[in-house]
Each structure stands twice: as structure tokens, then as C-alpha cells.
Amino acid sequence: MTRAMIARATPKVGQSERLAALVETLAQQVRHEPGNIRFEAFSEGGGAVVMLEEYRDDAAFEAHLAQPYTKEFNAALAEVATGGASTVTDLASFASAQVSAPGIRAVDHAGLTVPDIEAATRFLCDAFGAVTLYDVLPEEGPNMEGEGPQEELGLSPGTRITHMRLVRIGNGPCLELFRMEGGAQSNPARLQDMGLTHLGLYVDDIDAACVAFTAAGGTLLKGPHPLANNEDNDGNAGIYGRAPWGSLFELLTYPGGIDLPTDTPAPRWTPHP
């Protein structure tokens, strides 16, 4: 079971900026911990900072507390926070929506095979602000090939993976980029083809997103167009486009909300701003 909590620190007079800087630094450090699930910070009136933290389990939280930067942060609070420390409230989950089988969390990532990972990364960065997390398989090798990968990944004989990279776009699943050589490849899927066909990205300003998509080298289809049926409310719109290598992306926005059926088991997941 995960360990979740809220930590709140209120700055002493004149210490608001320093407290915010300390939290900003801590956030970057904690997010690199293998046992951290999330670390988000919010500001309240009067400069108080609220930190929402979640860890894989109790052991992961104890490992967090043992980190030198955590100890340095807590020591600094003695100078900048009223009471000399933050207050911590443990959280217990309840009334959560049951939308998966026990033990299944959610979509972790989607895989995308591209002809050139560096070029694809530039497009995803320029069009969507994607960031590179790490290379699963560095370009300099060694390649992933042979009977093992063929049997494990369903590759045709002679196919080799020459580069793999994990990137992230906003508050959602990661994209795992692959570059393959040596095996036959089909064209990117169209919407009517079987299997996964496109990636949909929520945008706040669809016109600005269209400009960025095109400037990055993508090709938009007709639109933007209204969304359909219970998604068709004021301000809601979408448009499809192809990346330079042909993969299909959808840009969509629904600030007017979505009319959910009364018997829906859960709200639609939407990336937070």
C-alpha cells in the first residue's frame, strides 16, 4: 500500500521566498527517488506551502527521510518556518473509483516506433514541450537483437532495436520511442486500421497548439472541428494531424466539459493544468 501525506510549512516574516526556493529544490530531488510516486507543491494565503507526497510504501518513505537533502531541508525549516518545522498529516484513500482489476493501476506508457529518435524527440519537444527522461537503449549500442528479443518482443527474424528513449509530455503516460532496423516495416496506422491508431493530447489553446504542431513539422488534417455527442459542448474542439514520420496525433480541448452518463463508473481522466 502506498504512503501518502500532506506536509504544510508556513514561513516566518520575510522568509516566503526562501521557503518557496527550498521546496522547489526539494521537489526536484525527491522526484528522482525510485520510491517516490508524486511530489506536488501548492501555495496558500500568507505564503504557506502545502506539499502533497506519495511513496511506493513505508520503506520508500523511510528511505526518503534518510536522504541527506531531506535532512538538510528539515534543518533549514528551523530558520524559515513558523514552529521550526512542517506539519505532516497522513492520508488514507477511500471512495476511490474502481476502474481496473485489483493490482492494475493505469496506462504507464505507449510505444512509438520512429525512423529517427533524435528527429522525433525534436518534433515532440517543439510541438508539445516533451522532455527526455533517459535512453533505455543508447544509440551507441549494443543493439538489442537475436532470438531473445525476437521471442520476447515479437520481432521478425533479423530485426534489431538500435535506439530506445523514454520521453514525457505533461501529466500523463510516457512515450517509449523505438528505432528498428533490419526487418520489414509497415506504414504508420490510419484511424481505420486495427490496433492502436493515434495519441490524443489535451491542449488549453487549440489554435496555438495547431501553430506549434505545424511549425514543428507536423501536417494537420481538416479542422479544428466540434467534438461528438456528449462531448459536444461550447468551446470543445479537436483536430488530427500527422507527425513528420506519419504517426497520427489528435489535439483536443473540452473546457465546456463533458456530459457523462448517469451510470458512468468514473469521471473521464483529464490531465490537470
On the question of a cis peptide bond just before residue 261, with omega within 30 degrees of 0, the verdict is no
Q: Mind giving me the DSSP string for 124-154?
A: HHHHH--EEEEEEE-TTS--B-SHHHHHHHT
Single out the residue of 96, 117, 110, 28 nearest to residue 67, CA to CA. Answer: 28
Q: Report CA-CA distances (Å) from 191 to 186, 187, 209, 224.
A: 15, 12, 21, 17
Q: Which helix (H) or strand (E) holds 75?
A: helix 68-80
Q: What is the pLDDT of residues 197-251, one digit of tens each?
A: 999 999 999 999 999 999 999 999 999 999 999 999 999 999 999 999 999 999 9
Distance, CA of 201 to CA of 26 (rounded, Å): 29
Distance, CA of 240 to CA of 238 (rounded, Å): 7
Q: Which helix (H) or strand (E) holds 119?
A: helix 117-128
At 256 the three-state DSSP class reads coil
Distance, CA of 242 to CA of 105 (rounded, Å): 30
> Each residue of 109-135: b (16+ CB within 10 Å) or e?
eeebbbeebeebbebbeebbebeeeee
Q: Which cell goes with 162?
A: 538500435
Task: Give the predicted TM-score (pTM) of the model.
Answer: 0.87
The percent of residues above 90 in pLDDT, for the chain, comes to: 86
List all residues 6 or more positions away from 249 whose beta carbon is below 8 Å from its beta carbon. Answer: 198, 199, 200, 201, 213, 218, 240, 241, 242, 243
Enter the DSSP assignment of 238: E
Q: What is the pLDDT of residues 136-183, one digit of tens each?
A: 999 998 999 999 999 999 999 999 999 999 999 999 999 999 999 999
The percent of residues above 70 in pLDDT, for the chain, comes to: 100
Distance, CA of 104 to CA of 202 (rounded, Å): 24
Helices 58-65/68-80 angle, 10° precision: 60
Compute the mean pLDDT over every residue in the chain, rounded to the nearest whole number: 94
Classify residue 83 as left (phi > 0), alpha (psi -120 to 50) or beta. left
Q: What is the pLDDT of residues 54-100, one digit of tens each?
A: 999 999 999 999 999 999 999 999 999 999 999 999 999 888 878 88
Within 13 A of 97's CA, how many CA atoms are on the CB side?
9
* 211, 224 Cβ separation under 8 angstroms: no
